[in-house]
Amino acid sequence: MKKEKVSWLTNLIYFILVPVSQIIVYIFSSKSLGEITNLLAIKEKLGLSTEQFKNFQLGLAALVSIITFLVLFIIDWLLLKLLSSRSSTQALFMSLVLGIVISNLLGIIIPNTLDLKITQGIMALIQLLIVMFTYSKLSKKYGGRHDRTGTIILGITSLALGIIPYFIH
């Protein structure tokens, strides 16, 4: 099967979806949380107006989501390059983007429509399943063949980095 190429502009557009989806989640969650004492203390220490502080929070949410994505991508990419002979960088990139964006959207839709509370552990589990499923499917599209070893590696790293920390408290 022929490998499919994706332009850098298309990848940039997909990448922008990561912080945008995280900002949307932050906006929805901050409305339900109301004013938090710690946040008010930070606002007072920085001497910011309410509008400036909201912009600061949104910028910080975007920055943290970008850094988190890049760290996840680099760790997964290195492990795939070392342990899988069929790894596909494009499939990894797309699966991480789709995993983050879809889990963020579900984190907004489910609590607001079904009145169910979703914990961070459940969100990480949803993201793990989406990343594994999409990498399995996209590795054939972008790499020419399925990467079962890479799918297992992604599952293990997603489990270690995303789910286990929420249950260790």
The residue ranges of every structural domain in the chain are 8-167
SS3 3: coil
pTM: 0.84
**Helical (H) or strand (E) element with 47:** none
Residue given tokens 């459940």 in the structure block: 122
pLDDT value for 73: 94
The C-alpha atoms of residue 108 and residue 154 are separated, in whole angstroms, by: 25
Whole-angstrom Cα Rg for the chain:
18
pLDDT tens for each residue of the chain, 169 residues long: 556 677 888 889 999 999 999 888 888 877 665 556 677 788 888 888 888 888 888 898 899 999 999 999 999 999 999 998 888 899 999 999 999 999 999 988 888 788 788 778 888 888 999 999 999 999 888 777 778 898 999 999 988 887 777 666 5
Of 101, 167, 160, 87, nearest in space to 131 by CA: 101
The C-alpha atoms of residue 83 and residue 36 are separated, in whole angstroms, by: 44
Residue 146 CB coordination number (10 Å): 18
